[in-house]
Amino acid sequence: MYIENIKLKSKRMQINVLSERLKYRNDLLVQGLSNIQIETKHSFEKKINEKIYNFEDCDCFCGYRNDILLADRDWFGLYYPIVICKECGLIRANPRLDFLSYKEFYDNEYRKLYGEGDVEKNILWEQKVAQGQGVFDYIIPKLPSNIKVVYEIGCNMGSTLSVFKTENFEVAGVDFGSENIEYGRRISGIDDLFVGGIPELLKKKSEKSADLVILNHVFEHLLDLEKELLDIRSLLRPGGYLFISVPGTFWWIKNICKDNILGLLQNAHTFQFSLASLSYVLNCAGFEMVSGDETIRAIFRMDQKFRKRGSPPKNEYSRIIRYFKQEEAKYAFRLAVLNGIKNLLRKIKMYNYCKQLKEKMANLHNLF
């Protein structure tokens, strides 16, 4: 199998894994996926095995090659080797899909695999607009009043930009999902929504530079952080602002994944960030943090001071690996307790009764 060959090659640089449950198995059955997600997953795996989708090796942003393997599967049970750099604490997928493979993945499988294929477009639009309002409400009070031109990279359907447009901002956005861009143009009335990436916005920039660039849950999907940030600098006026939201490693595992590390692991994410590791990357590209939290939501201002890559955040690797091990231990303990309770219920012949009672309570909850 193609994946097994990739795994053999990757062992040269990776030396550890957190726990057995985070190891890839091609016979793994993942519970809770919809029929659309299962079908999409099989389509994705078929393309990998037929070498339509291909993997590439990549070094860490800091330039070092001193990694530890954390896991090599994701939430969906897909092959997804994720490593942490012992020098800077940055987490990345390695090996990962190459650019052309990711480009096709985003246009064909991404939205369906991640649940959007199960939601009607008009309902999804309303949900995304509500999320976009949250982005607007977070950003605008923290920025000066002269912000007028807003670009978004990875704009989905342009729902966030529609909120800014309603407030009389000039907007433009790009996304690799052609179907979503087409829908967004129709429903939002925004003409400047383009299929593609930053190069499409660079064409637009010839008319006006951006005061603000938005990457809302996009930065963790990029392949070449240095190049993308240099291109973003080209989009911005001097002193312009960059808003980045990504799944913050510490906050996301605790609050969204309910202490289950697997919830953070998604094959579409090429990087995972803490606020410290994100700030390190942005500082190296000449961006100064204005505001930020471990959620992560952060605003950066374009500056002319560039941090040296050889000065990564101190002890970030130790902080993250300690947290991961702690969360895995907590998960293993909860699982052991749960299995102990199940075994006890089976022993006293109450397991089926309790299972049926749980299902009835869930059905009752759904009525309200």
Q: What is the average per-residue pLDDT within 109-128?
A: 87
DSSP string across 298-314: EEEEE-S----TTSPPT
Predicted confidence (pLDDT) per residue in 140-157, tens digit: 999 999 999 999 999 999
In angstroms, how far is the first alpha carbon of the chain from the final one? 48
Q: Are 34 and 27 in contact (CB under 8 A)?
A: no
CATH architecture for the domain at 119-307? 3-Layer(aba) Sandwich (3.40)
pLDDT at 2: 54
What φ, ψ does residue 337 adopt, rounded to 5°? Answer: -65, -45
- Which helix (H) or strand (E) segment holds residue 244: the answer is strand 236-245
| Separation of alpha carbons 321 and 315, rounded Å | 10
- Ordered by start, the domain boundaries in the chain are 2-116, 119-307, 318-366
pLDDT at 92: 97
Point out the least confidently predicted range of 11-15, 97-101, 199-203, 320-324.
11-15
Q: Provide the residue type at 202 as one letter.
A: L
**Burial call 265-276: b when 16+ CB within 10 Å, e when fewer:** bbbbbbbbbbbb
How far lies 266's CA from each of 61, 82, 85, 225, 359, in Å?
20, 10, 18, 18, 29
What φ, ψ does residue 90 adopt, rounded to 5°? Answer: -75, 135
How far lies 48's CA from each of 30, 56, 104, 161, 219, in Å?
19, 12, 12, 34, 24
pLDDT band at 366 (very low <50, low <70, confident <90, very high): very low
pLDDT at 368: 43
Residue 11 confidence (pLDDT) above 80 = no
Q: What is the average per-residue pLDDT within 96-117?
A: 90
